[in-house]
């Protein structure tokens, strides 16, 4: 059996650093994590993953589930500091984290680099101003473009997350977003179709009829077109659809969810009910 080439140790910081909630988001619901982890928990999790890792490639610690660079600076340094011993003794190669486009500037990126952060994933979601506004994102498309420019300029690896199907979205707007993302030349992309998750403002919008979830077949077709746009230029789409877990599935109210969503898009499975 081939040995795994990359270990990513996920540390969830649910809503950490988020100044407000985007209408679609419930990190606590989909991850099952409610509190910010303590430093002991961070260290224990890293030790636990490393103790069972039999692969050969890059080992990274990833801070996901919030806006890392929106955390209080002392807390950022504490989390990043907890990984430094593992980097110093060669057991961890680098750190990656996700954050919002408007929480990036040159000083922030230099600071992250000084702690061994090599990859930043930006929750862009859409490059349509209307979609961003209706989704309560609180940043502009220009913020996302500027953040990518700063990160690339300082030698950081950049990933972009896109969410087709948000309020106000359309096939045309999602394709435009994919084209804009492609032109920014990220190192990789993640595509997360919008789902209606329990205890979010989007749930209320769905229930009062102001948001209509996309059908699975529509979303599969759209994501196929988005995938082709990235494939044509060699940009890796590392994820399509949320990772299926019990917590996630218990939180989904409605929307284009399938456990093997990427397989549907790549034609390895057939969407039920499609012609």
Binding footprint of ligand SF4 on the chain (CB under 6 A):
15, 18, 21-22, 25, 27, 66-67, 100, 123
E strand or H helix that includes residue 11: strand 6-12
**Shortest distance, position 56 Cβ to ligand SF4, whole Å:** 32
Tell the residue number behind the tokens 């996309």, with chain if given: 214
Percent of residues in the chain assigned helix, strand, coil, to nearest 5: 45, 20, 40
Q: Residue 255 and residue 261: Cα distance in Å, rounded?
A: 12
**Shortest distance, position 64 Cβ to ligand SF4, whole Å:** 9
Q: Which is nearer to ligand SF4, 205 or 264 (CB)?
A: 205
Q: Which is nearer to ligand SF4, 21 or 152 (CB)?
A: 21
Q: Which is nearer to ligand SF4, 22 or 184 (CB)?
A: 22
The pair of structure tokens assigned to 28 is: 């606590």
**Shortest distance, position 62 Cβ to ligand SF4, whole Å:** 14
CA dihedral 105, 6, 223, 218 (to 10 degrees): -120
The answer to whether 161 touches 22, Cβ cutoff 8 Å, is: no
Tell the residue number behind the tokens 């077709």, with chain if given: 221
What SS3 class is residue 121?
strand
Q: What is the DSSP letter of 253?
A: E
Classify strands 252-254 and 236-240 as parallel, antiparallel or unpaired. unpaired
Residue 113 C-beta-side C-alpha neighbours within 13 Å = 15
**Shortest distance, position 13 Cβ to ligand SF4, whole Å:** 9
Q: Which is nearer to ligand SF4, 191 or 271 (CB)?
A: 191
**Shortest distance, position 58 Cβ to ligand SF4, whole Å:** 25
Q: Which residues contact 171 (CB under 8 A, 6 or more apart)?
A: 218, 222, 225
Q: Which is nearer to ligand SF4, 28 or 263 (CB)?
A: 28
**Shortest distance, position 27 Cβ to ligand SF4, whole Å:** 5
Q: Which is nearer to ligand SF4, 7 or 14 (CB)?
A: 14
């Amino acid at each position: 059996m081939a040995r795994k080439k990359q270990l990513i140790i996920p540390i969830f910081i649910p809503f950490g650093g988020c100044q407000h909630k985007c209408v679609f988001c419930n990190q606590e619901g989909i991850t099952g994590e409610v509190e910010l982890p303590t430093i002991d928990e961070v260290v224990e999790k890293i030790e636990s993953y490393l103790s069972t890792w039999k692969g050969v490639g890059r080992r990274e610690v990833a801070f996901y589930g919030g806006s890392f660079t929106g955390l209080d600076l002392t807390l950022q340094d504490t989390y990043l500091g907890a990984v430094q011993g593992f980097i110093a003794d060669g057991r961890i190669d680098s750190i990656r984290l996700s954050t919002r486009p408007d929480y990036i500037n040159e000083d922030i990126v230099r600071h992250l680099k000084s702690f061994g952060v090599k990859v930043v994933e930006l929750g862009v979601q859409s490059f349509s101003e209307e979609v961003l506004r209706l989704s309560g994102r609180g940043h502009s498309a220009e913020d996302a473009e500027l953040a990518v420019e700063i990160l690339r300029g300082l030698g950081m690896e950049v990933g972009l997350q896109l969410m087709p199907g948000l309020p106000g979205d359309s096939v045309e707007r999602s394709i435009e977003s994919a084209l804009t993302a492609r032109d920014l030349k990220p190192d990789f992309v993640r595509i997360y179709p919008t789902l209606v998750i329990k205890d979010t403002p989007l749930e209320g919008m769905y229930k009062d009829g102001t948001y209509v979830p996309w059908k699975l077949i529509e979303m599969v077709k759209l994501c196929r077109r988005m995938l082709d746009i990235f494939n044509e230029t060699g940009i890796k789409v590392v994820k399509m659809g949320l990772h299926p877990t019990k917590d996630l599935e218990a939180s989904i109210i409605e929307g284009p969810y399938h456990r093997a969503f990427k397989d549907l898009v790549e034609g390895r499975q057939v969407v039920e009910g499609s012609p």
